[in-house]
Amino acid sequence: MKTSNVYEKLTDNNDLSNLFKWFAFRAIIADFVEICDLFEFAVEYYKNKEIKQWQRGYDLVTIYRNIINKEMFIVRNDSGFLLCTFAISNQLPSYYPEDVKKNSNTWVIKSLCTNLHYKNSFIGRKNFVKIIKTADSNCIQKIYLDCVIDNPILELFYKRYGFRRIAIAEHPRYAQDMVLMVREK
């Protein structure tokens, strides 16, 4: 019996809002400044801790593009504070190998950032698990993501959730080597 994937059920392949509504909202332009503030705080935090993540800042144009493309999602607490943001796309970035881009029924997790003011509450871990569960329940066969090669702790975190390294590629904007990873169902 063939299982259908989420894209067969959608009328708009870019709007995954209903899939994440159990824990996240699709970001809108009005959220842009708040999301940028979250990323800018994270960039400074990582620099101060000497963690090699987003050493050249984060591309705020990408955040805007993710919102316009209906790929950016936000998680808020009951008081409305922004806790986490992430983007999901079925289009892999240009720096991924061509043979990987031929896969269909895939997601790439991008722009995952948590509010570091709440770092002891495991927001990132909890929401990362929810993203994976959402992919699994919607028959997504492969989930891709990447991380800076100089951040082995982050790579280990992803490995704990079933991701494996498939390639290393230079990120065109950040001029840093990225570990490309996949989790297959």
CATH number at residue 82: 3.40.630.30
Percent of the chain whose predicted confidence (pLDDT) is above 70: 88
Residue span of the structural domain in which 57 resides: 12-139
Name, in order, each residue with C-beta under 8 angstroms of 137's C-beta and a sequence gap of 6 or more: none
As beta bridge partners, residue 76 has 82
For residue 13, pLDDT over 50 is answered with: no
Give a yes or no: residue 158 inside a domain: no
Look-up: residue for tokens 């800018």?
Answer: 40
Judged against a pLDDT cut of 90, whether residue 32 lies above it is answered with yes
4 has pLDDT over 60? no
Question: Per the domain annotation, does 164 fall within a domain?
Answer: no
Query: Number of folded domains in the chain?
Result: 1
pLDDT higher than threshold 60 for residue 11:
no
Helix (H, G, I), strand (E, B) or coil at 172: coil
pLDDT at 110: 93
Read off the pLDDT of residues 103-143 as tens digits, 9 standing for 90 and up.
778 999 999 999 988 866 789 899 999 999 999 999 999 99
pTM: 0.86
| Residue (of 116, 174, 111, 176) closest to 145 by Cα position | 111
- 172 found inside a domain: no
Query: Is 7 a domain residue?
Result: no
Confidence of residue 173 (pLDDT cuts 50, 70, 90): confident
Give a yes or no: residue 119 inside a domain: yes
Helix (H) or strand (E) holding 13: none
176 lies in a domain? no
Residue 136 CA to its chain's centroid (Å): 16
Report residue 121 as tokens: 């509450």
